[in-house]
Structure 1
Amino acid sequence: MVIRLAGHMVFCLAALLLAGLGSMALGYQFGAVGGSIAIAVLILATALALWLWFWRRRLAGAGALAVVFAVLAVWWGSIAPSNDRDWAADVARGVTATIDGDILTLHNVRNFDWRTADDAVERWETRTYRLSGLDSLDVFTSVWDSPAIAHTLVSFGFRDGRHLVFSAEIRRERGEEFSSIGGFFKQYEMVLIAADERDIVRLRTNFRKEDVSLFPVDADDRFRRALLLSYLDYGNTLAVRPAWYETIFSNCTTVVYRLARTLAPGASLDWRILFSGYLPDYLYDHGYIATSLPLAEVKKRARISAIGQSTPDSDDFSAAIRSGPVATLRPSAAAAATGTVKQP
């Protein structure tokens, strides 16, 4: 009796999970009208499997549920990411790059001049940089709602004063809105954006009014160079092999972690990688950002939104956001010279 009851519970749970997750997937993929029809068919098929099971035709019921699962699995596996859609303007182009000795040539560097949070003068540029001129590495976190979730950006500084930011983002279609739930169901592709700080950081500080922080990273020249090259390789790969954005396993922070871990395999997996609002805590605990002050003070000094908002359009935005308290978080010249900086 107990075994029979347990069997009923397991079968019902499997049917409910299949119907629930399948309905969400169908709804996000087919929209309101098509999704409603597909969901109705799924529910009827699941109900038939349950009816067969409880009318003592358990083999037929299990077979029916297995067929429903197989059909959904084949359909789900057939949904492939694409680079050919009507994209929103700010994610229309992913970065690609070529390397000739010391010279990096980047195509599709975004340098928008934002007028509002949704409107900008669009500029996509081709830029060249010298690998030998790479001078600094910074991580930006940008919080817009829950403090547990932040968007993560990585900025490479060069000795000529320029900064290049990489941001792994959802690739929205024109008119499409972001949904964290949709990110579980193949609603968005991934795109790697390379941009000027005056574009991508200023958009968040000045127009979206997000809480943006800048954390200088302790890393040596070898790691900075290898990480930059890994970003360029990732951009080139996405250009020929598109990939899905996944809310948990392939987002802005997990991309940073995976790239860093390929260069430093000892980097540990941590729950704060998934809950990206706590990424500074992870970096602090591992000594990748300034640890000479308490973490709360480091976070306080790292906040740059107010500075960004008070910086005139005519000023050097990158220089401005690195002035004030955040400047005290820079790795010391002595540590860099003696090679004691840590590698993530």
Structure 2
Amino acid sequence: MKLFIIVVSLVVVIYILHGVFSVAKLDRDWVADQKVLAEITVDGDLVTVKNIRNIVYRSTEDFDLSFYDKTFKLEDLQAAWYIVEPFGQIGAAHTFVSFEFKDGSFIAISAEIRREQGEKFSVLKGLFRQYELVYIIADEADVIKLRTHHRQHEVRLLPIKADKEIVRQVFMDMLQRAEKLATEPEFYNTVANNCTTNIMKHVRRFSGKAIPWWDIRYLLPEFSDKIAYDAGMLKSDLSLDEARHYFSITERSQQCLSRESFSSCIRR
């Protein structure tokens, strides 16, 4: 038994030391859907995003990969939506943000691990500098259809109550973070640098709301919507439980799959 404990302890120490001395990189053998990163150009009120991901999925592993470029006017940015995708055990979830523009387009920004070929996510590995962090900028239909239809996960599409100027500031801050990560890589961290902690940093910087620096719900992001609810940032008079049910779009998404106006359809 003593020998077993010693061996396990050595393995853990070696694993931790490997992580401590690891260096985040840009040039690994990335999976196809995370290989190409968005590029951002700002010219006054005009923001051009190149390589907006727009995948058509047949399954999670079988898809047609495409991208498009689009120029947005910041004054046309109308609203933001906080999206929660619960999965696995209680509390586990992915969170991201979608931005609505005047022309009816919706662009999602999602902080994720940047996976290498054959790599799977592990909460434990995420503590030890094993994954780079990436901001995926995608057409909203791409990231929502993937989750509701192909992963068959619940998705909650929660409208955010905030002044348009704050929404624009958060949007630009997320784009700038995406751009920085594309040249200065960082490691994802399950506790301190995950999908939810990054969103909350952006929101805290501009909202003027009491968004905590850290909260156990950042580790259990299925419940992170309560942070927005407590801060008065959910655009709804419903209770939180009622809002979670009302804004769950899983069934609606299935019905809207073939609609050209997918994003409008799931919001009806």
Is 1:106 the equivalent of 2:49? Answer: yes
Given candidates 74, 79, 82, the residue that maps to 1:139 is: 82
- Against the structure 1 CA distance between its residues 272 and 128, is the aligned structure 2 distance closer, same or farther, given a 3 Å change threshold? same
Contact 1:290 1:298 in 2 (8 A): no
Runs of 4+ in 1 over 4 A off after TM superposition: 15-18
Query: What's the counterpart of residue 133 of structure 2?
Result: 190
Is 1:122 the equivalent of 2:52? Answer: no
Query: What's the counterpart of residue 254 of structure 1?
Result: 197
Distance apart, 1:20 and its partner CA: 5.5
What is the rounded CA distance, in whole Å, between the counterparts of 1:164 and 1:213 in structure 2?
Answer: 16
**What are the superposed Cα offsets for residues 311-344 of structure 1, whole Å, 9 maximum, x if unpaired?**
2424311011101xxxxxxxxxxxxxxxxxxxxx
Question: Aligned AA for 1:276?
Answer: P
Moved more, 280-289 or 218-227: 280-289
Comparing both structures, which one devotes a greater share of its residues to strand? 2
Is 1:268 the equivalent of 2:212? Answer: yes
Look up the SS of the partner of 1:104 in the other structure.
strand
Identity of aligned residues (%): 33
What is the rounded CA distance, in whole Å, between the counterparts of 1:281 and 1:78 in structure 2?
Answer: 37
Query: What's the counterpart of residue 322 of structure 1?
Result: 267
Moved more, 107-116 or 268-277: 268-277
Contact 1:86 1:174 in 2 (8 A): yes
Contact 1:93 1:193 in 2 (8 A): no
Is 1:284 the equivalent of 2:229? Answer: yes
Question: Aligned AA for 2:49?
Answer: L
Task: Give the greater-gyration-radius structure (CA).
Answer: 1
Query: What's the counterpart of residue 181 of structure 1?
Result: 124
**Unaligned ranges ≥5, structure 1:** 1-14, 26-71, 324-344
Is 1:164 the equivalent of 2:107? Answer: yes
Look up the SS of the partner of 1:142 in the other structure.
strand
Normalised TM-score (structure 2):
0.91
Question: Aligned AA for 2:224?
Answer: L
Look up the SS of the partner of 1:204 in the other structure.
helix
What is the rounded CA distance, in whole Å, between the counterparts of 1:143 and 1:78 in structure 2?
Answer: 33
Look up the SS of the partner of 1:231 in the other structure.
helix
Given candidates 190, 199, 207, the residue that maps to 2:150 is: 207
Contact 2:20 2:129 in 1 (8 A): no
Is 1:22 the equivalent of 2:35? Answer: no
Comparing both structures, which one devotes a greater share of its residues to helix? 1
What is the rounded CA distance, in whole Å, between the counterparts of 1:16 and 1:312 in structure 2?
Answer: 52
Question: Aligned AA for 1:208?
Answer: R
Given candidates 176, 183, 192, the residue that maps to 1:240 is: 183
What is the rounded CA distance, in whole Å, between the counterparts of 1:231 and 1:204 in structure 2?
Answer: 22
User: 1:274-313, aligned counterparts within 5 Å?
Assistant: 274-313=219-258
Moved more, 169-178 or 305-314: 305-314
What is the rounded CA distance, in whole Å, between the counterparts of 1:314 and 1:271 in structure 2?
Answer: 38
What is the rounded CA distance, in whole Å, between the counterparts of 1:197 and 1:121 in structure 2?
Answer: 16
Using CA pairs under 8 Å that are at least 6 residues apart, name the structure with larger relative contact order, 1 or 2: 2
Distance apart, 1:76 and its partner CA: 4.6
What is the rounded CA distance, in whole Å, between the counterparts of 2:136 and 2:112 in structure 1?
Answer: 7
Look up the SS of the partner of 2:182 in the other structure.
helix
Moved more, 93-102 or 216-225: 93-102
What is the rounded CA distance, in whole Å, between the counterparts of 2:167 and 2:8 in structure 1?
Answer: 45
Look up the SS of the partner of 1:225 in the other structure.
helix
What is the rounded CA distance, in whole Å, between the counterparts of 1:230 and 1:113 in structure 2?
Answer: 28
Look up the SS of the partner of 1:211 in the other structure.
coil
CA RMSD of aligned residues (A): 1.9
**Unaligned ranges ≥5, structure 2:** 1-5
Contact 2:24 2:185 in 1 (8 A): yes
Normalised TM-score (structure 1):
0.72
Question: Aligned AA for 2:262?
Answer: F
What is the rounded CA distance, in whole Å, between the counterparts of 1:229 and 1:17 in structure 2?
Answer: 46
What is the rounded CA distance, in whole Å, between the counterparts of 2:190 and 2:121 in structure 1?
Answer: 11
Distance apart, 1:101 and its partner CA: 1.2
